[in-house]
Amino acid sequence: MSIVREEIVEFYGGVQSDLCALFEEFDSTATFGVERWARPGGGGGTTRVLQGNGPLEKAAINVSAVSGAVPSKLSERLAEHANNFFATGISMIFHPRNPHAPTMHANLRYFETDTGAAWFGGGLDLTPHYLYESDATWFHRTLRDICGRHAVADYPAWKRDCDEYFFLPHRDEARGVGGIFYDHLTAELESVDTFQRELGQAIGDAYLPILERRVDMPYGSDQERWQLQRRGRYAEFNLAIDRGTKFGLETGAGTESVLASLPPRVRWDHDVTPEPGTPESTLIEVLVQPREWA
């Protein structure tokens, strides 16, 4: 068996279709649009965004498969000696309306060059606005159990990598309660492909039960204000730090697709510091000192 890029592209497209159907049923008020885009130089993708008045304020599930000459300013270190590249992936973001329901991000990707180099990357992470320990535990245990079924997966290491990657150094805090993050997996590609297929098919299992527990909880204007302030941190990470955003813009991917992960509404109020002992301060405590959830 060997890696066949067309089969990976097909799998990512199937995950997109399945998740769009799943979360349309959950939201029940809106549907995902379909926007196809072409990349100058080779390839393109399909951007699917749901925006409505239901429990999901915004959700985006995007797939792409791009190829061509390696851009001169590409920051991907494993492609620095290559002339041509191929990259495909699926990325997604869910921004619930209810402040008690956490944001979730996931992506799966495959990259190869004309030098023979090839690798997988990906991960899932959870970003709550209010901390519910049972949600973080469910999310992490789901990922831990999937990793435990594959010798190529390393939940403890990838959990640490996630905590380190999704971190805002200018705020000295994590973006959320993490998950797993892996990149540049160059060995045993067939086994990694098998692992990633199970992971992709389990995204709904990891996140949807959490949403179902939280989307009908009552909240007020103070909770909504805090949610929008925390979304500001999310936007800061995506625009200033995230390598996926940088890669998409560097390779000429559709700009709207690359930036579809941004929340629809945010606030940047000056010097926001929650009072000690409040639910808001409890979240911050976890963000400055990551925990073991699984």
Counting other chains too, the contacts that 76-80 makes at CB distance below 8 Å and 24 or more residues apart are 76/111, 76/247, 78/111, 78/113, 78/117, 78/119, 78/184, 78/186, 79/111, 79/113, 79/117
- Active-site residue, 95 included: no
DSSP structure class, residue 70: P
Calpha distance 122→134 (Å, rounded): 24
Mean per-residue pLDDT of the chain: 93
Report which residue type is found at 218.
P
Record the tokens describing residue 122, joined without a space: 């990906």
- CB–CB of 4/36 below 8 Å? no
User: Using one digit for the tens of pLDDT, what is the confidence trace for 133-149?
Assistant: 999 999 999 999 999 99
User: Using one digit for the tens of pLDDT, what is the confidence trace for 229-285?
Assistant: 999 999 999 999 988 788 778 777 678 878 888 999 999 999 999 999 999 999 999
Q: Which CATH number fits domain 5-288: 3.40.1500.10, 3.40.80.10, 1.20.1250.20, 3.40.50.800?
A: 3.40.1500.10
- CB–CB of 62/257 below 8 Å? yes
- CB–CB of 228/272 below 8 Å? no
The pLDDT value recorded for residue 57 is 97
Element spanning 107, H or E: strand 103-113
The pLDDT value recorded for residue 259 is 86
121: left (phi over 0), alpha (psi -120 to 50) or beta: beta
pLDDT in tens, the chain (294 residues): 478 899 999 999 999 999 999 999 999 999 999 999 998 889 999 999 999 899 999 999 999 999 999 877 665 666 667 889 999 999 999 999 999 999 999 999 999 999 888 999 999 999 999 999 999 999 999 999 999 999 999 999 999 999 999 999 999 999 999 999 999 999 999 999 999 999 999 999 999 999 999 999 999 999 999 999 999 999 999 999 988 788 778 777 678 878 888 999 999 999 999 999 999 999 999 999 999 999
The pLDDT value recorded for residue 287 is 97
Which of 95, 100, 105, 140 does the annotation list as catalytic? Answer: 105
The pLDDT value recorded for residue 78 is 60
Calpha distance 210→204 (Å, rounded): 10
Q: Is 166 helix (H, G, I), strand (E, B) or coil?
A: coil
The pLDDT value recorded for residue 229 is 97
Calpha distance 290→287 (Å, rounded): 6
Alpha helices, H only, the chain:
5-27, 133-148, 155-165, 189-201, 203-214, 221-240, 243-250, 255-258, 279-288
Where do the domains of the chain lie?
5-288
% of the chain with per-residue pLDDT over 70: 96
